[in-house]
């Protein structure tokens, strides 16, 4: 299949780190594993800390940066090419996110050992600035998720649906060749998030 000049450009410059990262969780505990924590507040906090294994994973943080440039790779380097947030968080004219990121992951062969695939989703874009998580403690992220002014104006039931069902969130578990997936599964993550809400949505200390 013949590639367009634009696609060749994207492959040449969109270097996504594929080296494994130390200390990245590979699994999630189930909700049932927190039954032995009898104090409800403590159980709620403990479950959010488990949720945090996903929220603070590079698959999530790379699209929740502070500033106007996404990050990439397990080492969370600045996106290359140096794209900018642009209107609506979809990039600037001529360098919109969908210039390179298509509706699904695209496997790449014969270009570079570092580039095995280009991420894709129909709504690929940066999280809004008010949803920046990079550099923040888990407690700070927790408070953001409960604040409608910083969570996309979502109620907690809407947040549960977002975490458990949204396919862009789900990309984190199917990130394409050359990337470490988020720990566990989206289903397990969604159940933990709901259980956290159901036990009072208590946050770790900031």
pLDDT of residue 24: 64
State pLDDT tens for residues 94-129: 999 999 999 999 999 876 667 899 999 999 999 999
pLDDT of residue 184: 97
pLDDT of residue 9: 42
Which has the closest alpha carbon to 131: 200, 80, 61? Answer: 61
The DSSP letter of residue 83 is: -
Give the phi and the psi of residue 146 in degrees, each rounded to 5.
Answer: -95, -10
Q: Report CA torsion sign: 170, 171, 175, 181.
A: negative
State pLDDT tens for residues 34-82: 999 999 999 999 999 999 999 999 999 999 999 999 999 999 999 999 9
86: Cβ–Cβ under 8 A, 6 or more apart, which residues? 92, 93, 95, 96
The answer to whether 83 touches 96, Cβ cutoff 8 Å, is: no
pTM of the model: 0.87
Which has the closest alpha carbon to 36: 46, 26, 49, 51? Answer: 46
Report whether pLDDT(158) > 80: yes
Report whether pLDDT(141) > 70: yes
Report whether pLDDT(3) > 60: no
The DSSP letter of residue 70 is: -
At residue 26 the predicted structure's pLDDT band, cuts being 50, 70 and 90, is confident
pLDDT of residue 23: 52
pLDDT of residue 7: 46
Mean pLDDT, rounded, of the chain: 89
pLDDT of residue 22: 38
pLDDT of residue 117: 94
Please report, for the chain, the start and end positions of each structural domain, with discontinuous segments joined by +: 5-19+29-198
Report whether pLDDT(11) > 80: no
């Amino acid at each position: 299949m013949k590639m367009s000049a634009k696609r060749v450009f994207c492959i040449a410059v969109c270097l996504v780190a594929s080296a494994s990262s130390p200390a990245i969780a590979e699994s999630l505990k189930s909700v049932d594993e927190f039954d032995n924590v009898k104090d409800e507040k403590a159980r709620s906090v403990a479950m959010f800390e488990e949720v945090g294994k996903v929220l603070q994973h590079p698959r999530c943080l790379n699209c929740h940066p502070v500033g106007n440039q996404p990050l990439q790779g397990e080492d969370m380097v600045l996106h290359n090419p140096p794209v900018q947030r642009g209107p609506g968080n979809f990039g600037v004219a001529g360098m919109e996110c969908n210039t390179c990121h298509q509706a699904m992951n695209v496997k790449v062969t014969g270009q570079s050992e570092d580039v095995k695939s280009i991420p894709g989703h129909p709504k690929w874009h940066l999280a809004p600035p008010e949803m920046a998580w990079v550099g923040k403690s888990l407690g700070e992220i927790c408070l953001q998720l409960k604040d409608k002014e910083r969570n996309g104006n979502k109620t907690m039931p809407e947040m549960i649906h977002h975490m458990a069902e949204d396919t862009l969130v789900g990309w984190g578990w199917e990130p394409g060749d050359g990337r470490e997936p988020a720990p566990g599964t989206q289903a397990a993550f969604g159940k933990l998030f709901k259980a956290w809400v159901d036990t009072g949505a208590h946050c770790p200390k900031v």
